[in-house]
């Protein structure tokens, strides 16, 4: 393993004997092929799980569907109590789970801890929300009538999550789904399966302690073929999928064909706009963390910085200078800022993107490349790169899940920067750095950023769970976490109650017998 306590963390999470395979759903074991999880940190085998077969999947769905019948009848505040217990257990396991996230995915240890904190935060949010799943009373045009809305559990929620946030995105979905009365079947990324198994161990223990059905929370393992079982299954009314735009197109189309609902959180090509009045003390840390945090593998990572020509040279030099201070290495060592990419396929995509940017006419300011030698044996460590580019370059128009930052110049008014910001097919996160109120308000107006997230004087990355998270255009339009995102996990029902002795019809229609 490593010298950073991973063995101890695995034991604390109940993952000390992973070479014999593990469960796909609670206590039901798979007969599928072996999936090996290697750490991008040091290239070592962490453990093995078994992929879910069609037979295994049917068992999981049978268990989950049965659990829903009883779970939906439990009062919402009581369901919130289960989520409260889960959040408290996460507080106890934060150190161990955060280390596993860091080791299996490759993000810095601080980001690993932060991801588990996101899980805790969404649990706290959901517990309070469990007493506020409110409908509304609607005035009726008919005398002696009452109209109202109710929200009911939707059923089995399918969750497909990505490797870059191997536990938090699942928690965003499942904490809300549980308090809404739904049960969940989770297909984690095959690149980070052990994080999913660890979470399942935690919640399975809580369900057992409360004498609740194990099918309230199930996991399935495998590649896209396992995900297809879920997207094609009419027993799953909602599929929440996080990943690439390519994946989202397939999931959204497949689920729509059976009239199911999909919650899509897809690609981002996020820009940070720097105006002449921007404060460099705020700009530099926001830009650098946004670009290199999680080694550029966040959906909200800063891909483009759009800088006014009047301050372009000053901002460019400050960011380039800051890159010289970045420390790259084992993410479990807290003195390092940046860890590895998830695997060598991601490295190939990164190197190809740099080549394409140069071929298009880009000017390299901070050279990228693969890091080799002691400490980089996994072959997944790369250098964050900065390239001067034009917004219309094809590679700039695409999302590259790696630490490549494009600097783009704009001239004239803020509207010109907004046009460049919006001039990509993705619409997840955006930000502006300005001390001019008019510029900030224009950026946030209906004619401003077309993204689901628009920030002022903070970066594109680092959302809180209190607000709804998600984006527009090819980002998919889904919303998770805070605000009223809970409504997607429920079905709306309009009720009309006649407490009079007459039967007046709406719109004044007469129907006399």
Residues with a catalytic annotation lie at 265, 299
Looking at the DSSP bridge assignments, the partners of residue 263 are 240
Contact 310, 319 (CB under 8 A): no
**Two tokens, residue 186:** 């989770």
**Two tokens, residue 148:** 């109202």
Range list of H helices, 180-325: 193-209, 224-231, 245-257, 280-292, 312-323
DSSP strand pairing (28-29 vs 23-25): antiparallel
Looking at the DSSP bridge assignments, the partners of residue 382 are 370
Report the distance separating Cα 88 and Cα 349, nearest Å: 40
Strand ranges inside 382-489, DSSP E: 382-383, 385-388, 404-410, 426-427, 429-433, 453-456, 468-469, 472-473, 480-481
Q: At what angle do helices 312-323 and 280-292 cross, to 10 degrees?
A: 50
**Residue partners of 330: CB distance under 8 A and separation at least 6:** 2, 4, 41, 42, 336, 339, 375
**Two tokens, residue 505:** 């019809």
**Two tokens, residue 493:** 């029902």
Rounding to the nearest 10 degrees, give the CA dihedral for residues 101, 106, 112, 114.
Answer: -130
CB atoms within 10 A of CB 279: 11
Q: Which of 451, 116, 109, 122 is nearest to 294 (CA)?
A: 109
Alpha carbon 240 to its chain's center: 10
Radius of gyration of the CA atoms of the chain, in A: 24
């Amino acid at each position: 393993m490593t010298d950073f306590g991973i063995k101890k963390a695995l034991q604390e999470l109940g993952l000390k004997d992973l070479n014999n395979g593990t469960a796909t759903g609670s206590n039901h074991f798979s007969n599928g092929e072996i999936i090996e999880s290697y750490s991008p940190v040091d290239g070592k085998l962490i453990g093995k799980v078994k992929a879910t077969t069609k037979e295994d999947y049917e068992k999981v769905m049978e268990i989950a569907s049965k659990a829903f019948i009883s779970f939906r009848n439990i009062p919402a505040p009581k369901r919130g109590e289960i989520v409260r217990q889960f959040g408290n257990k996460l507080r106890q396991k934060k150190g161990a789970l955060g280390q596993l996230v860091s080791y299996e995915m490759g993000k810095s240890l601080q980001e690993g801890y932060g991801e588990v904190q996101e899980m805790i935060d969404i649990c706290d949010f959901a517990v309070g929300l469990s007493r506020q799943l409110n409908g509304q009373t609607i005035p009726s045009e008919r005398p002696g009538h009452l109209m109202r809305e109710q929200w009911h559990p939707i059923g089995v929620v399918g969750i497909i999550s990505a490797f870059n946030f191997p536990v938090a995105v699942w928690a965003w979905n499942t904490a809300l789904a549980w308090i809404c009365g739904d049960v969940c079947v989770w297909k984690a990324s095959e690149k980070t399966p052990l994080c999913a198994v660890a979470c399942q161990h935690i919640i399975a223990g809580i369900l057992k302690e409360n004498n609740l059905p194990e099918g309230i929370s199930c996991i399935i393992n495998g590649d896209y073929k396992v995900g297809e079982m879920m997207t094609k299954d009419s027993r799953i009314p909602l599929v929440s999928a996080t990943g690439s735009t390519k994946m989202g197109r397939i999931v959204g189309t497949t689920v729509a064909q059976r009239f199911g609902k999909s919650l899509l959180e897809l690609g981002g090509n996020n820009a940070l706009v720097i105006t002449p009045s921007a404060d460099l003390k705020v700009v530099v840390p926001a830009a650098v963390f946004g670009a290199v945090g999680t080694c550029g593998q966040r959906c909200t990572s800063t891909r483009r910085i759009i800088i006014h020509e009047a301050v372009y040279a000053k901002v460019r030099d400050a960011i380039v200078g800051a890159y010289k201070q970045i420390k790259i290495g084992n993410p479990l060592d807290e003195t390092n800022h940046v860890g590895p990419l998830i695997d060598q396929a991601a490295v190939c995509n990164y190197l190809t993107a740099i080549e394409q940017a140069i071929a298009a006419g880009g000017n390299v300011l901070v050279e990228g490349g693969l890091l080799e030698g002691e400490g980089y044996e996994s072959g997944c460590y790369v250098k964050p790169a900065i390239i001067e580019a034009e917004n219309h370059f094809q590679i700039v128009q695409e999302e590259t899940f790696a630490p490549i930052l494009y600097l783009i110049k704009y001239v004239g008014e803020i509207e010109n920067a907004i046009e460049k910001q919006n001039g990509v097919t993705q619409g997840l996160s955006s930000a502006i750095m300005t001390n001019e109120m008019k510029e900030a308000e224009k950026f946030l107006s209906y004619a401003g950023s077309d993204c689901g997230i628009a920030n002022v004087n903070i970066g594109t990355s680092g959302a809180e769970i209190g607000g709804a998270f998600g984006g527009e255009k090819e980002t998919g339009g889904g919303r998770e976490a805070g605000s009223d995102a809970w409504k997607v996990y429920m079905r709306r029902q309009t009720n009309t109650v006649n407490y009079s002795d007459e039967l007046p019809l709406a719109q004044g229609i007469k129907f006399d017998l």
